[in-house]
Amino acid sequence: MEPIRYTQRICEDKEKINRFLTETRVGTLSMWDGETGPYALPVNYIYWNGNIYFHGMGSGKKNDLLAKNPAVCFTVFEEFGTVVDPVPAKCDTAYLSVVIFGKAVPVQDLEEKTGALAVLMEKFLPGFFKNSLSPAFVEQYRSSFDNNAVAVYRICPEVLTAKENSVDKEQLFPQPQK
């Protein structure tokens, strides 16, 4: 792994990184398709027990690629605005990004799979469901789009890097209201 060259931007604040990974909702999963090249797609995810978990249908291109080659790069980022400077070439972007390299492996253990799905549901639909998710439900559930069981993957970070450009709000160019 090549080290980050822009060393002034390295973020080593583990608490900030963990909070960022826990709170951010979407990451980009990058895989390798040996025939056509890189393949990246946004996925909802959770950061739980030091790992990234994501889910999806039990079939499809993502599943096929990960079965052939589980090596992935997972990126989470947030852009906070454009940093202004009187010198045009010195304008910049305020951001925080985390890049994780590892292997995306299917979760086979039913308890871990159920736990990951329960945490995922609570993150995206907090308090919505009255009953907790049961292993029996997870084992039997089939999507109307796919007759396979829901797929849950775990990425255990082998390499995790974080970069940030943190600035005060008054240094940011005012964003137009949406």
Task: Give me the domains of the chain, ranges plus CATH numbers.
Answer: 7-167 (2.30.110.10)
Instruction: Count H helices and E strands in the chain, helices first.
Output: 4, 9
pLDDT of residue 140: 80
User: How far apart are alpha carbons 118 and 151 in whole angstroms?
Assistant: 14
- H/E stretch holding 15: helix 14-23
Q: pTM score, two decimals?
A: 0.89
pLDDT by residue for the chain (178 residues), tens only, comes to 677 777 888 999 999 999 999 999 999 999 998 888 999 999 999 999 999 999 988 888 999 999 999 999 999 999 888 887 778 787 888 899 999 999 999 999 999 999 999 999 999 999 998 888 888 888 887 766 777 788 999 999 999 999 998 877 777 777 776 7
d(CA 7, CA 121): 37
CB-based burial label for 135 (10 Å; 0-12, 13-18, 19+): middle
What pLDDT is attached to residue 4? 77
CA 110 and chain centroid, separation: 22
Q: How many residues does the chain have?
A: 178
Give the contacts of 131 (CB within 8 A, at least 6 positions apart).
none
